[in-house]
Amino acid sequence: MKFKVFLTGIVLALVFASCSKFSKVQKSKDVDYKLKMADEYFAKKKYNHAQQLFEELFPIYKGTQKFEDLYYKYAYCFFYQDFYMDAENLFKGYLEVFPNSVKAEEIDYMRAYSFYKQSPKLELEQVNTLKAMNMMQTFINTHPGSARIKDATEIIDKCRGKMEMKEFRSAQLYYNLEQYKAAALAYTNLLNNFPETQKGDEYKLMVIKAYYRYAKLSVVEKQVERFEKVIEEYQDFMDRFPDSKLLKEAEEYNNLSINHLKDKKNEQISSSAKR
């Protein structure tokens, strides 16, 4: 117990000493010394201290040869503290002030990456996810020889995967709520929006299942055209995914729809005969 108290005391003393030293640096009138200390704090990953000093020195060094490096590190201070919106704005500003910098490509990537880091949970609106995708694609187009293209491509793929999952959950929710027409349309859009997906046959099967259940629940007058829609979707399934393991299940819904149509036709014949 005594050792823990002793250790806590040492930690508090070190923290106090560190804060006291930083306070002295802040109060110094020697701007070159403050810049030197800001660089040291940055190198030691004490980004909060570095940020505060860079901020004070910003107007003093603006227009000098040291300003670019100061701006560069200042922007990264926000990024490393997870203040991604601020970092993105600063990266953008850096590119505007130093468009011909040797670090322009890096900062252009980091600006796009800051949007990616702001990508929210799946349940929320994915505005920043879309921005990250678009900006990473712009980066690839603008810097065709960059070593960062592989990373940019991977991030685009991750973002697309996230967007696909969000659309999938929305489509599945419609299906679970028994809003089958909406589900069929949502799954169709999902397949069209992500044609490269590895789950294309799964989505197409859900289109067939949703249209089948929609047809079964329809009023009698609408059932024929809606079962025909199921058969049409099955034909498209066969054309797109002839080797799918789900083909047999899709065929079952096709056969059920054909049988329903036969029953409807027989009913019509029987009704006509009675007349």
Cα–Cα–Cα angle for 10, 12, 15, rounded to 5 degrees: 110
Helix then strand then coil, % of the chain, to nearest 5: 80, 0, 20
pLDDT tens digits for 122-161? Answer: 888 899 999 999 999 999 999 999 999 999 999 999 999 9
Tokens of 220: 């009698």
Q: Among 17-26, 32-41, 77-86, 195-204, whose mean pLDDT is lowest?
A: 17-26
Closest CA to 67 of 54, 79, 76, 77: 54
- Residue pair 73/54 in contact by the 8 Å Cβ criterion: yes
Tell which residue, 99, 163, 104, has the closest CA to residue 139: 104
Give per-residue pLDDT as tens, 225-268. Answer: 999 999 999 999 999 999 999 999 999 999 999 999 987 776 66
Domain 178-275, what architecture?
Alpha Horseshoe (1.25)
Q: What distance in Å separates the CA atoms of residue 51 and residue 32, rounded to the nearest whole number?
A: 16
